[in-house]
Chain A
Amino acid sequence: MEKHILFVDDSPTMRSSVSFCLRNAGYRVTEAVDGEDGVEKVQSMEEKGESLSLIITDINMPKMDGVGFISKVKETEFKFVPILVLTTVAEESVIKKGRDAGASGWLMKPFQPEQLLWAIKKVVWPK
């Protein structure tokens, strides 16, 4: 079965390029535009009994940031789903915050498709 990834980022460019890459790699992608939207998407997946193999989330977002979003995910049945956080060099301290919240790994923007897939391989079982 297709593996399902939830991608949360406030930048349309990021959403478009990352989803493009993930779909090319054979993943099914659900997008969310910020932390709040992410929580709603997670809750609706929970209700529908959908599966989720990975969450990729930006940290710096309006409304609810990535750290807040992760702690909400940890309250759902998806709490053991691996989470990759997207950050930039300027926000290196954010990595620790993400990890403390329960993230599994991180990726520095901007990145190449191979780097994205390389990071995913570290936390998601191959198909």
Chain B
Amino acid sequence: MSADDETLQIFFSETEELLKLAEESLLALESTPESASDIEQLFRSVHTLKSGAGMVGYTSISDYAHLVENLLERVRSGKLAVTKNLITLLLGSIDFIRSMVDSVSQGEAEADPEVLNERKDQIKRYLGIDGISSLEREEPEPPVKEAPKEPAQEFSFYKIDLKFRKEFFHSGQDPLLILLGLSELGEFVEVVPDLSELPDFEDFSMYDLYISWQIIIKTEMSYEAIEDVFMFVKDDNEIRIEDITERYREGIDIELAGKKLGEVLVEKGSITEEVLSDALKKQKMLGEILVEDGKIQPEDLEKVVAKQEESRAVYRKTTLRVDVEKIHSLVNLAEETGIGLSKVQALFEKYAGPGQMEITEEMENLVKVNQEFQERVARVRMFPLEGTFRRFQRMARDLALEQNKQIKVILTGLDTELDKEVIEHTTDPLKHLVRNCIDHGLETPEEREAKGKPPTGIIEFKAYQRAGKIFVEIRDDGKGIDFTGIQRKAIEKGWIEPDQVLSKEALLGFMFKPGFSTSSKVTEVSGRGVGMDVVKTQLDQLGGTIDTHTEKDKGTTFTLCLPLTSALMEVLHVMVRGISYLVPLQSVVGTEKFDNKLVKSFGARERVYPFRGDYLPLADMTKILDIGMPSANGNSTALVFIDTGRKAFGIPVDEVLKPQQIIVKTLEKNYRSVKGLAGATILGDGSVSLVLDLLGLEEIFFKNSFEGDANYENEEKAE
């Protein structure tokens, strides 16, 4: 270290002090050889002296003191006894160090090299073979290196997986600094953050780290230089650095490198897509056959499948990344064109002028062509469900294993394609359904055998397309849904009266209600404090439905019906105070003429209205958009009844118009996000209409009353 004059002066006076302390300790040890405090003081003096000498650049003093320190370490750890001889040797060492310090303070060399070596050998002899070999082991290459400046010959590509501890920040570390350090070594070709560990907002701690990264860097630097970036963090975090230069060679498109042989063969025209997909199917079967024959361990096969899936995920990302937004707008435009065309078509149906036949015919053709156009465009954004299914296959296996249950997972319809967005929103519902199957449906091997069933249970994932919808089935051959259990729970929750007789459908409905779960374990496993209600909520948002079929000891089948794309929505068109609203049709349970006399009030502001034997609260639309109109329903002529799955309520409206199919544009892009409104759309007459977000509305109006409808009945009786 650069020794300025002041530091040197300090070094000399400190050394004098340290040598004096060392001498004192040695003399004390002569009479009390076991005194730990004297040994400690002696050790620290020499230790401190060594470091100081090193810092000001007196390496001979530092090296020699280091040897003495080693000898003292052996004394300190009890490996070497304090004898008269040793004390004599050490006093000599202290004198020798003092003589070296004196020399340098007068501007002379530290010591004659020969004398120095002699002195060193003397200490080494005392350290013995053991001591010397441990000494040599303790002198590795300097642990702090400067980043190697010599570039490697060519560019290399490294794939770096960074998974830091959750408590990373608690060590005063910052992942971004590490990324910054890494970025100085080359060019990031790809950075993929993994956000999957991010918890829900209420469980989120700003002092914890949830994100991990995968980075591909192009650099001239060596592997060691990359490794150096992680020097302080590599021991207690998961850092993987892989040289992938072979896969990412210069001059070759990265996307191409991610592609598999089959894809390349198809591109080159060597084989057709049909041949490839047939071959791939055989490949899958091969894996299963090999497992069945015991030729390969299922774990090994799974590893390969997982790898394949990983590479596919990367491939998808790279091909989609460029233009997914453009595809979104294409899909929307195609759909809009379709809707426009059907409107024109409807107009022409009323038209009775010349050429009416030809026009109608041409229109029909045009509509057909457009339908195909829409479908093709939508396909661009679609992916096979295979990846999702594979993930759940693994999850099902892991969960079953944890609970000592045996399952066989069957996957069918892997090629069935679904809109990327729909797939993403279906993942959570599927997760809960799979958990439900394993936790509650599937029996243990013993239970199964007692029922005369094979010990291994079956879970089947099946996907298929029918009538413009995608169906996803999850079927198990377990014990079926326990209706008496649901009934008991519903009574406990106060949702029904103890003597109430309900249909199986009604009972199944409770399963998807918030707050319901037949065992507390569900919430633990799902880890989110929610149960099956998530399934329904998510599906509602997507415009999907779920159908449950169950039979005692035969098993349960959940059938999800999903839209091909997420943008189309069936809505009911209503008017409130001259404003046009669209209500998602799947949540509408009925409409009725509004009779002001039937409204009952209780509490400060709450008003309820009878509907099918219940009293449902009313949501006044004029309250959410501050339009300055009186909020009384003087003009309301009709009521639209809504059931979001969590809550049922009525919306007073002035007019109920026709149901329609629309494309939703989210408001956020054009305007700030508004709670209670999902988006807006332009109607056939060119006017703008607002699409209601029913879950949001429900929160606005009924934030504090999630106890369920039964309360209203009770209040009613109490009145």
Within 8 A of A (CB), among B497-528: none
- Chain B CB within 10 A, most for which of A90, A102, A125: A90
Complex contacts, A11 vs chain B, CB 8 Å: 14, 48, 51-52
Q: Which residues of B contact A88 (CB under 8 A)?
A: 47, 50-51
Question: Whole-angstrom distance between the alpha carbons of A122 and B234 in the complex?
Answer: 13
A49 CB to closest chain B CB (Å) equals 19
B325 in contact (CB, < 8 A) = no
When the two chains form their complex, are residues A20 and B11 in contact, meaning their CB atoms are under 8 A apart? no
Q: Is the CB of A20 within 8 A of B2?
A: yes
**Given that A90-B73, A119-B144 are known contacts, is A82 also in contact with B47, CB under 8 Å in the complex?**
no
Given A14-B51, A90-B69, A108:B143 Cβ within 8 A = yes
Our pick among A99, A111, A121 for the contact of B235 (Cβ within 8 Å) is: A99
Stretch of B164-172, B365-373, B651-659 that contacts chain A: B164-172
Instruction: Assess the A105–B231 pair: CB atoms within 8 A.
Output: yes
Which residues of chain A (11-59) have a CB below 8 Å from chain B?
Answer: 11-14, 16-18, 20-21
- Assembled-state Cα–Cα distance A84/B207 (Å): 20
With A20-B7, A60-B44, A125-B174: A13-B235 Cβ-Cβ less than 8 Å = no
- A64 at the B interface (CB under 8 A): no
Assess the A125–B51 pair: CB atoms within 8 A: no
Q: Which residues 47-94 of B sit at the A interface, judged by CB distance below 8 A?
A: 47-48, 50-56, 62, 66, 69-70, 73
Interface residue ranges of A57-116 to B (CB < 8 Å):
60, 62, 74, 79-83, 88-90, 92, 99, 102-116
Whether A16 pairs with B146 at a CB distance below 8 angstroms is: no
Binary A-proximity of B1-20 (CB < 8 A = 1, otherwise 0) = 11110110011011100000
**Known contacts A90-B73, A105-B232, A115-B144; A17/B169 CB under 8 A:** no
- Known contacts A104-B232, A113-B1: A89-B146 contact under CB 8 Å: no
Among residues of A, the one whose C-beta sits closest to the C-beta of B207 is: A80
Nearest Cβ on chain B to A62's Cβ, whole angstroms: 7
- Among the listed A89, A105, A126, which residue makes an inter-chain contact with B139, where contact means beta carbons less than 8 Å apart? A89
Choose one: B62, B140, B170; the contact of A110 (CB below 8 Å). B62
Chain A residues, Cβ within 8 Å of B293: none
The listed residue (A80, A111, A125) touching B177 by CB distance below 8 A is A125
Measured between C-beta atoms, what is the minimum distance from A66 to chain B in Å?
Answer: 13
Complex Cα–Cα for A20 and B7 (A): 8
How distant is the Cα of A37 from the Cα of B128 in the complex, in angstroms?
Answer: 40
Taking A12-B14, A14-B51, A123-B177 as contacts, is the C-beta distance between A102 and B6 under 8 angstroms? Answer: no
Within 8 A of A (CB), among B32-58: 44, 47-48, 50-56
Please tell me the size bucket of the interface on B.
Answer: 35 or more
The answer to whether B56 and A17 have CB atoms under 8 Å apart is: yes
> How far does the Cβ of B44 sit from chain A's closest Cβ, in whole Å?
6
Question: Is B151 an interface residue, CB under 8 A from the partner?
Answer: no
CA distance A60 to B52 in the complex (A): 13
State the Cβ distance, A22 to closest chain B Cβ, in Å.
11
**B48→A82 contact, CB < 8 A:** no
Q: Select which of B52, B143, B207 is within 8 A of A13 by beta carbon.
A: B52
Flag if B54 contacts A16 (CB, 8 Å). Answer: no
Residue in A12, A81, A105, A113 whose CB lies within 8 Å of B2: A113
In this complex, the interface size class of chain A, counting residues with CB under 8 Å from chain B, is 35 or more
Are the C-beta atoms of A21 and B235 separated by less than 8 Å? no
Query: Please, how many angstroms separate the alpha-carbon atoms of A60 and B40 in the complex?
Result: 11
A124 cross-chain contacts in B, Cβ below 8 A: 177
**Which partner residue on chain A sits nearest B18 by CB separation?**
A11
For A102, give its contact among B55, B170, B235 (CB under 8 Å): B170
Max chain B Cβ within 10 angstroms of own Cβ: one of A17, A74, A121: A17
Contact pick for A17, options B7, B73, B231, CB 8 Å: B7
B232-A16 in contact (CB<8A): no
Once A103-B171, A108-B142 are accepted as A-B contacts, the answer to whether A16 and B70 lie under 8 Å apart by CB is no
- Closest Cβ–Cβ distance, residue B529 to chain A (whole Å): 29
Q: Which of A12, A60, A119 has the most CB of B within 10 A?
A: A12
Contact call B47/A122, Cβ cutoff below 8 A: no
Q: Given A62-B44, A92-B138, decide whether A16 and B6 contact each other with a Cβ distance below 8 A.
A: yes
B172 touches A107 (CB 8 A): no
- For the complex, what is the distance from the CA of A103 to the CA of B172, rounded to whole Å? 7
CB contacts under 8 Å to A, within B200-244, are 207, 229, 231-232, 235-236
**Cα distance, A115 to B228, chains bound together (Å):** 13
B277 CB–A CB distance under 8 Å? no
A107 to B70, CA, bound (A): 20
- A95 CA / B139 CA spacing, docked (Å): 16
**Known A16-B7, A90-B138; contact A109-B146, beta-carbon cutoff 8 A:** no
Given contact pairs A16-B6, A102-B171, A121-B181, A21 touches B1 in the complex (Cβ within 8 A): yes
Nearest B residue to A79 via CB reads: B170
Q: Does B147 contact A (CB under 8 A)?
A: yes
A99 touches B10 (CB 8 A): no
- Most interface-central of A11, A106, A112, A125 (chain B CB within 10 A): A11
Query: Is there a chain A Cβ closer than 8 Å to B173's Cβ?
Result: yes
Q: List chain B residues, Cβ under 8 A from A12.
A: 10, 13-14
- Cα separation A12 to B140 with both chains bound (whole Å): 28
Partner of A122, one of B51, B52, B181: B181
Contact assessment for A13 and B44 in the assembled complex, using a CB-CB cutoff below 8 Å: no
Give the distance to chain A from B285, nearest Cβ to Cβ, in Å. Answer: 51
Q: How far is the CA of A108 from the CA of B231 in the complex (A)?
A: 13
Interchain CA distance A11-B143 in the complex, whole Å: 22
**Known A21-B2, A82-B173, A104-B173; contact A109-B55, beta-carbon cutoff 8 A:** yes
Residues of A within 8 A of B50 (CB): 88
Q: Would B51 and A90 count as touching, CB distance under 8 A?
A: no
Q: Known: A12-B10, A105-B232, A119-B144. Is A80-B170 also a contact (CB below 8 A)?
A: yes
Known interface pairs A20-B2, A121-B181. Does A109 touch B51 (Cβ–Cβ under 8 Å)?
yes
Smallest distance from the beta carbon of A3 to chain B beta carbons, Å? Answer: 14
Contacts A60-B47, A89-B66 given; 13 further ones with Cβ under 8 A?
A: A18-B1, A20-B6, A21-B2, A62-B44, A74-B170, A80-B172, A99-B171, A108-B142, A109-B54, A110-B1, A111-B55, A122-B181, A126-B180
Residue contacts A-B, CB under 8 angstroms, 14 given:
A13-B11, A13-B55, A14-B48, A20-B4, A62-B44, A82-B172, A90-B70, A103-B171, A104-B171, A104-B232, A111-B1, A113-B2, A115-B146, A122-B181
Q: Write the residues of chain B forming the contact surface with A, with a CB cutoff of 8 angstroms.
A: 1-4, 6-7, 10-11, 13-15, 44, 47-48, 50-56, 62, 66, 69-70, 73, 138-140, 142-144, 146-147, 169-174, 177-178, 180-181, 207, 229, 231-232, 235-236
Which 7 A-B residue pairings sit nearest by Cβ, starting from the closest?
A110-B54, A82-B172, A13-B52, A105-B232, A16-B7, A104-B172, A109-B51
